Structures are given as structure tokens and as C-alpha cells.
A and B are shown apart, each in its own frame.
Chain A
Amino acid sequence: MATTATKSKPVPWRAVDIVQLVLGVIVVVVSALIMWAALMYARPASNLAGDEQLAQRIFYIHMGCNIGALAGFLVSMIGSIIYLVTRKLDWDRVAQASIEAGLVFGLGTVVTGMFWAKPTWNTYWTWDPRLTTSTITVLVYIAYLLLRNGIDNRNSRARYGSIYAILAFLSVPLTFFSARWFRSIHPVVFGNENPDAQGGFDILGGSMQQTLTVSLIGFCVLFSVLVIMRWRQLRMEDDLAELREDLA
């Protein structure tokens, strides 16, 4: 196919590109805010000392990742259900994007949990309900992505992915309850005291509370931006694939 050589012109900016840029700037600012608050603003826990006291600051990132993973879970469930009802691929893209973002945050939850666990409980791993559920959820996400990887037909990929997502996510609350009925040494920062919990810290006066709030909101923003950007990317990938087929 003959093309005439032209001097390449810069691609004009569209409204959605500007929005994305603004969101990106917001994310950078928010992330910096979270890090400052967690590392410097929050006062150290009064009942802990030394390494444990420093490690406690991971809590803010850990909880942030947690909420990101939870958001990934919920949004992808909703996206999958809506896709199966409406069969509009955009919802499938939302589901996939949230699962990918959820995967990142889920891994973050597990890893930050491990970094916190070692100085606090002197072990990297425990089988407490929250950690177990996070880990299993991460495995479900990976399985979802592997499943999609093996399907060439676009609509089948969306359909099968959604079906798997719905079934797998139904099992996650059951996993949580099952794990909970075993003993847990995860400190229960909110809610009923678990007599076996170790390493809890006196909550959550002033600066800690504020830092936590900043972290939770900040991670939600981070999650949303990631999903939006990834969703755009998936859209373009699909368009590209169709164009390739046309020209083949």
C-alpha cells in the first residue's frame, strides 16, 4: 500500500487527554501527600518501640492497598454482571482494568503485610483471615487473567471472564469466614478485640486518624485513575486488533 511521505505533525490534544493529564497530576500530588503523612506527619505509636514502632507506619500503606484491592473486587464484579446483561464490551474492559489494578493493590497488601509482620510477629507469614483472603483474591485475579489470555474470540473472552469473575468472587467472602473461624493473630485495629492478637497499637488519635483518612482516600483516587487509564488502553487495543483484521 503506497503512502506518501509527509512530515509527521503532532497529534492534537483531545479533551479526554487533558482530563487524563489532570488526573495524573492529581495522583502524583496525592501520592506525595500520603507518603509525607505516613512517614512524617503521623505521630509514632506510643505503645510500641524501636523497629516495631517504625514498622507500624506501613499500616497506612497497607490499609490503602487493602482498599484498592477491595475496590478492584467490587468494581470488577459490577462490571462483569453489567457486561453479561448488556453485552457492551466497555463494561468488560472496566472489569478487566479493575482486576489488573486490584491485582497490583492486592500484591501490595500482601507484601506490605509481610514487611510489617516480620518486625512485629517475627514471622513473614500468618494464616489469619485477612491475609489469607487477600492472597486467595490475588490468585483469583491471576487465574482470571490467565483464562482471558487463552481465548482468542473477543466476545467469548469477555463472557467467560465475567462468568469466572462472578463465581470466583462469590467464594471470596466464604473464604474470609472460613479463615476467620481459625485462630487469628492479626491485630484487630477496629472492632472486637481478638485475645490472640499481638502487635496492636493504641488507636488512633488525631494525626493517625487523619493520616489513615488521607491514605484511604488517596488510594481510592489512585485506583480510579489507574482503571480509567487502563480502560482507555484496552479500548485502543481492541480498536487496533480490529483494524489489523481489516487489513489482513
Chain B
Amino acid sequence: MADQLIVVSGVQKRYGRKRVLSGVELTVEQGCVMALLGANGAGKSTLMRIISGLAKPDRGDVVLGGISLRQTGHELRRYIGLVTHAPLLYDNLNAWENLLFFARLYDIQEPEPRIEAVLHAVDLWPRRRDPVRTFSRGMIQRLAIARAILHEPPVLLLDEPDTGLDPLSAEMLASLIRSMGAANRAILLTTHNLERARLWADSVSLLKDGKIAFCAPAANLKEGDLRRLVLETDGDE
């Protein structure tokens, strides 16, 4: 039985009086890609921020690879990679310098060969000396993914990574996700695109009213199933 790399239990989060998450339970196993769906404002980004350690839950816990986020200092962050729709890259520096900076922050030994390989993997090697300022949206997102996998984290969190991507970049993203999943990582991604969720992921879950309303293997769902399910649970709006 594969290890459960991401375990979210009973996570609650309020902003002011508004309860955004009210008891989220989620598990992602090693080698598994899970797609998290939900309406705008359902709390997907909040949940991602909590799992990555950027925000603290009011209640509940997140356990990554058997270690609780509450109990560790900063070392656990080493094993997490995050891609958000904000690129988290420095405009004025070029691609190479951006990755070198993060390599230093993650204590990567002899980073140059690794950076080179990662840049090749996202097909940005020819543009490595160009400032990020000059990149297109798709290129920026690819570099952001490169940054997220640079330190080979076992846990990869992708928050709407495909928003605004051209189809070719999206295809590259898909194959990266597939290979990362094959390499025994646990990948949690959020997206608005139901079709991509079904095709890219091994299992699909839905965040609604602050809880996981639905979770099933993607293989069991046929085209149109997902749409029906999402609409159904949205039906009372």
C-alpha cells in the first residue's frame, strides 16, 4: 500500500466571522495525482496555502509524509513544492538566476547541472539568460513549475497552474504532472477545467461549503459525469 503523503484532517479556517473551511478531510497517496475542484471562493487556494504552510489552520492538522506541520520548524518546507497563479518569480532576474537563487535557499548541492536539466525539461533552456520580465504567461508558468520541482519535492501542490496557459504549455504541464506522479510524488492540483481534471488526475474531489463533498477515482468518471456532479452539488444556489 502506497504511503499517504498528504493527509489533511479536520482543517478549519475562518477569516473574521466567515468560515471558509469547516472540517476538510483529504488524503493523497504517493504516486497519485488528485484534482481538487470547487467554485470560485470555495476555499481551494486557502486550503493549498494551509497545506503548504503559508497559513495556519484554526483547527485540524496537515500531516506530510508522517510529519505534522504543527510540530516542525522550517525543515519540512524542504519537501514541498508549490505553484500558484502568482508566479513567485523575480522580474528583473533571468531564468537561470531565479532558479539559482531558489537552489541556494533550498541548500541544493552543486545546483548547476540540476538547474540545467530542469530548464531543459520545461523547454526554457534557450531563454535562460532572458529576464523573466520578457516572458509570456505560458513561459512564466513553466518556469514556476521548474522552480517547484527544482528540489524534487515529494509533495507537489499546484494551485490552478493551467489558468491562462496556451494549449502547448498546457500539454507540457500535463506530461510533467504525469512524470512526476510516476516518480512517486503526491500531487494535489486545483483547476477549473473539468476535462483536464478528469484526464490528468488519478482521483477527483470537490470542495464545497468548506468540506470535501465528493471524492472518487477519475477512471470511474465518464465525460459529462463530472459536469453533472458539480452542477448537482451546486444545485441549491
In the complex, A touching B, CB below 8 Å?
Answer: yes
Interface residues of A (CB under 8 A from B): 153-154, 241-242, 245-246
For the complex, give the distance between the alpha carbons of A242 and B18 in Å.
9
Check B17 for interface membership: any CB of A closer than 8 A: yes
Check B16 for interface membership: any CB of A closer than 8 A: yes
Within 8 A of A (CB), among B1-43: 15-18
User: Taking chain A's interface residues, is the majority helix, strand, or loop, or is none over half, making it mixed?
Assistant: helix
Residues in B whose Cβ lies below 8 Å from that of A153: 15-16
| B110 CB to nearest A CB, Å | 40
For the complex, give the distance between the alpha carbons of A245 and B19 in Å.
11
Residue of B nearest to A241 (CB): B16
Residues in A whose Cβ lies below 8 Å from that of B17: 242, 245-246
| B28 CB to nearest A CB, Å | 30
For the complex, give the distance between the alpha carbons of A219 and B18 in Å.
42
Residues in A whose Cβ lies below 8 Å from that of B15: 153
Interface residues of B (CB under 8 A from A): 15-18
Residues in B whose Cβ lies below 8 Å from that of A246: 17
For the complex, give the distance between the alpha carbons of A59 and B18 in Å.
52
For the complex, give the distance between the alpha carbons of A153 and B16 in Å.
8
For the complex, give the distance between the alpha carbons of A35 and B49 in Å.
59
| A107 CB to nearest B CB, Å | 33
For the complex, give the distance between the alpha carbons of A245 and B20 in Å.
13
For the complex, give the distance between the alpha carbons of A245 and B17 in Å.
7
| A84 CB to nearest B CB, Å | 15
Residues in B whose Cβ lies below 8 Å from that of A154: 16
| B75 CB to nearest A CB, Å | 25
For the complex, give the distance between the alpha carbons of A154 and B17 in Å.
11
| B183 CB to nearest A CB, Å | 39
For the complex, give the distance between the alpha carbons of A245 and B16 in Å.
8
| A92 CB to nearest B CB, Å | 15
| B210 CB to nearest A CB, Å | 16
Residues in B whose Cβ lies below 8 Å from that of A241: 16
Residues in A whose Cβ lies below 8 Å from that of B18: 245
Residue of B nearest to A242 (CB): B17
| B13 CB to nearest A CB, Å | 12
Residue of B nearest to A154 (CB): B16
Residue of A nearest to B16 (CB): A245
| B15 CB to nearest A CB, Å | 8
| A185 CB to nearest B CB, Å | 52
For the complex, give the distance between the alpha carbons of A134 and B96 in Å.
53
| A156 CB to nearest B CB, Å | 11
Residue of A nearest to B15 (CB): A153
Residues in A whose Cβ lies below 8 Å from that of B16: 153-154, 241-242, 245
| B20 CB to nearest A CB, Å | 13
Residue of A nearest to B18 (CB): A245
Top 9 nearest A-B pairs (CB, nearest first) are A242-B17, A245-B17, A245-B16, A246-B17, A245-B18, A242-B16, A154-B16, A153-B15, A153-B16
For the complex, give the distance between the alpha carbons of A153 and B18 in Å.
12
| A141 CB to nearest B CB, Å | 27
Could you write out 10 A-B pairs with CB less than 8 Å apart?
A: A153-B15, A153-B16, A154-B16, A241-B16, A242-B16, A242-B17, A245-B16, A245-B17, A245-B18, A246-B17
Please name 8 further chain A to chain B contacts, defined as beta carbons within 8 Å, in addition to the given A153-B15, A153-B16, sorted by A numbering: A154-B16, A241-B16, A242-B16, A242-B17, A245-B16, A245-B17, A245-B18, A246-B17
For the complex, give the distance between the alpha carbons of A40 and B16 in Å.
54
For the complex, give the distance between the alpha carbons of A218 and B6 in Å.
62
| B156 CB to nearest A CB, Å | 29
| A207 CB to nearest B CB, Å | 56
| B16 CB to nearest A CB, Å | 5
For the complex, give the distance between the alpha carbons of A153 and B15 in Å.
8
For the complex, give the distance between the alpha carbons of A246 and B17 in Å.
7
| B188 CB to nearest A CB, Å | 27
